[in-house]
Chain A
Amino acid sequence: MIIHANVFSYLIALAAALILSLVLRLPLLPDKPMRTSWTISAVFPTAVLSIGFYAMVSELGYQGYIVALTTGIITALFAKFILEKIVPIPEGDESHE
């Protein structure tokens, strides 16, 4: 199977999201133990979301390095300011985690 996607676009979206989320003072990695941590960090979920969101806009027909860069920036802003409002930590889990 041939990958027809432009790998560089994904890397740009990933790098933009990682760098901006670190600038926005999100931690690089979730707290330990990571498997039970609810912390929103640069690597998870911001980086994963950035390439996923770029895949979505790319499939909708918007491709290119500028689109990738914009997607990365918007993803970092989304992870920092909006994500926890849309999918909050469930009540009672703050103490548990």
Chain B
Amino acid sequence: MNEILGIVLAAIISWFNFVLIDTWMGLPESPGVKGAEVIGRSVQKRGGDLAGGFFQGNIVCSPDASAGTLLASIACYAIGMPEGGLIAAVLVYFGNRICADPGYAGTIGALSITVIIYLTSFVGFKPEFFIVGMVLAILTIQGLYHTGASRLLGKLAKKMGRYTKIS
């Protein structure tokens, strides 16, 4: 498969993998730690959405599905399939627990991207596509335009019934 096309498609797959799992696991509902609340409020002050801000704060403050997706891709590339993904899931779980997070989102994200990497390998995707793809996916949430990204995340949280009750 063409590398550029592979990276773009991997970025889209990674984006949906981590955003859907993180939203499903309730990242927009409440800040897990004080830092996530500070980020959420700051995003809201700048015209963003509070639930989306909490989502952004939570993924900064603990390794959730975003980190799980990235680490599992790196581990699959470095160690192999499926050992890399399984080892990444364990490491993400401990990272989560250290960061005051029960660990569901990160672990599920690592395991799901391992399955995705395995399945997409049959159509020519390589784990390295997902490493670059995930970096690009996280850039769209954390690096380009915070307020716009938070509004999109807030809308998604509303649709999935995970919008914050905190005002």
Contacts and interface: CB of A to CB of B under 8 A. Distances in A.
A26 interface: no
A20 B25 CA distance: 28
Contacts of B100: 90, 93
Nearest to B127: A1
A4 B122 CA distance: 15
Contact of B102 (A36, A48, A59): A36
B26 A5 contact: no
A54 B87 CA distance: 9
B8 interface: no
Interface residues of B, number: 28
B90 A3 contact: no
A87 B97 contact: yes
A90 B102 CA distance: 10
A51 B104 contact: no
B82 A38 contact: no
A4 B80 contact: yes
A69 interface: no
Contacts of A27: none
Interface in A40-60: 44-45, 48-49, 51-56, 58-59
Interface string B70-112: 0000000001111110110110011001101011110100010
Contact of B81 (A3, A44, A45, A56): A3
Contact of B87 (A30, A45, A56): A56
Given A52-B89, A87-B94, A44 B79 contact: no
B86 A51 contact: yes
B81 A1 contact: yes
15 contacts: A3-B118, A4-B80, A35-B26, A35-B102, A44-B103, A44-B107, A48-B107, A52-B89, A52-B93, A54-B86, A55-B90, A87-B94, A87-B98, A93-B100, A97-B102
Interface of A: 1, 3-5, 30, 33-38, 44-45, 48-49, 51-56, 58-59, 87, 90, 93, 97
Interface of B: 24-26, 79-84, 86-87, 89-90, 93-94, 97-98, 100, 102-105, 107, 111, 117-118, 121-122
